[in-house]
Copies of this chain bind each other. A is one copy, B any other.
Amino acid sequence: MNLIEEFNAYRSQMNDKILAEDNKVIKRIFNLDTNAYAEGTIDVKSKEMMGLACSMVLRCDDCVKYHLGKCFEVGLTKEQVFEVFSIATLIGGTIVIPHLRRAAEYWETLENQ
């Protein structure tokens, strides 16, 4: 199982278990998460770039992986993804670099799958 399958499998298994608890607040937050990134007055590509950049500056590897998967799906190029990386690293500082390494590795895996 590669990085992508492992990430997706765990994510989807645990999401199911969490939603099964039927906590109203958590269910609504999960629901909002789908709504917020849908096409609106801002297009999906720009929203995914924002999601990726925010995930990097907040240094959340799993969030970065999730949004990289989406960025790949919606057709962002490697150059664009690295431009998002550059803005996030500048805003968030060198503390972001370890996450940048894992992000670059995950993007490479997405391209080679």
Contacts and interface: CB of A to CB of B under 8 A. Distances in A.
Q: Mostly helix, strand, loop or mixed at chain A's interface?
A: helix
A5 B70 CA distance: 33
B55 A53 contact: no
B53 A90 contact: no
Count the copies: 6
Contacts of A58: 57-58, 91-92, 95
Interface string A78-107: 111011111111111111111011101100
A17 B104 CA distance: 8
Contact of A50 (B15, B49, B63): B49
Nearest to A100: B18
A49 to B, nearest CB: 6
A26 B45 CA distance: 21
A60 interface: yes
B46 A101 contact: no
A25 B56 CA distance: 16
